[in-house]
Amino acid sequence: MKNKLKILLAEDDPNLGMLLQEYLIAKNYEVELAKDGNEGLDMFLSGENFDMCLLDVMMPKKDGFSLAKEIRLKDPEIPIIFLTAKSMKEDTIQGFKSGADDYITKPFSMEELLMRIAAIFRRVNKQEPESAPESYTIGTYIFDTVGLKLSLNELSTKLTTKESELLKLFCQNQNKPVSRSFALKLIWGDDSYFNARSMDVYITKLRKHLKGDENIKILNLHGEGFKLITR
């Protein structure tokens, strides 16, 4: 089995930081989250071997540009991507002068960030993380993520794209809580009220699809999200 590529994420916005960390972990990266520039430097100098740094520019105690310069003193070759709300040309230039390999302006899509990360790893000849499984066992069901099929014995149900994406997220976190906000932002793009109601409809549909095995449950976790129970 390949080792997961390890990313240092320095982001002072706790909600965005946790969302990015959870998303990248779901994509088979290992991610350490620092809440400010000083903590980011301490993590980088702790002896852990990071393969990439994602650095917010506007952070307390030490900004991303200063952090990048100090990281470069320790490792001149490690790829660095800046995450920032700034979009002025001068800031972009300063970012690259500070050692950036790439520069992405908030708000950005998770997919775009993922593609930029993958492109840099390809360029520096780092192996990409292993692909997610093409099928999952959910109790007595088999879930084919490629064919979007849920099978029980000889019976198969064709899932919609949204049903499949949601079930795949639950399968990647079987018996673990999945936050409502994370699921909404990952699959629907934002956590608006309308999208939340839409997701509830899909949760109901998945429960019906899985009712053939009484040991399988999708639980509502009040104030937190959902959990797929398979035991």
pLDDT for 198 equals: 93
Tell me the whole-structure pTM to 2 decimals: 0.57
Q: Could you give the CA distance from residue 3 to residue 100 in angstroms, rounded to a whole number?
A: 25
Crossing angle of helices 110-123 and 14-26, in 10° steps, is 60
For residue 183, give the CATH number of its domain: 1.10.10.10
User: In this structure, what are the phi and psi dihedrals at residue 47, rounded to the nearest 5 degrees?
Assistant: 105, -10
Considering Cα of 81, then 87, then 90, then 91, what sign does the dihedral take?
negative
Q: Going residue by residue through the chain, which has 231 residues, state the pLDDT in tens, using 9 for 90 and above.
A: 347 899 999 999 999 999 999 999 988 999 999 999 999 988 998 878 899 999 998 898 888 888 888 888 788 889 999 988 766 556 666 656 666 778 888 888 888 889 889 888 888 776 555 556 789 999 999 999 989 999 998 899 999 999 999 999 899 888 888 888 878 877 887 778 898 999 999 999 999 999 999 999 999 998 778 999 987
pLDDT for 95 equals: 59
pLDDT for 90 equals: 61
Q: Could you give the CA distance from residue 12 to residue 57 in angstroms, rounded to a whole number?
A: 10
pLDDT for 36 equals: 93
Helix (H) / strand (E) element for 67: namely helix 64-74
Taking CB atoms within 8 Å and a gap of at least 24, the contacts of 103-110 are 108/83, 109/189, 110/20, 110/23, 110/185, 110/186
Our count of domains for the chain comes to 2
Same domain, 92 and 174: no
Same domain, 17 and 115: yes
pLDDT for 1 equals: 38
Q: Could you give the CA distance from residue 193 to residue 180 in angstroms, rounded to a whole number?
A: 11
Same domain, 118 and 182: no
For residue 23, give the CATH number of its domain: 3.40.50.2300
Same domain, 80 and 145: no
Same domain, 76 and 162: no
Residue in 107, 168, 130 with CA at minimum distance from that of residue 29:
130
* Residue 139 DSSP symbol: T
pLDDT for 107 equals: 80
Q: Beta partners for 138?
A: 141
Same domain, 53 and 114: yes
Strands (E), the chain: 6-10, 30-34, 52-56, 80-84, 102-105, 135-138, 141-144, 149-152, 155-158, 177-179, 217-221, 225-229
pLDDT for 74 equals: 80
In contact, 183 and 199? CB cutoff 8 Å:
yes
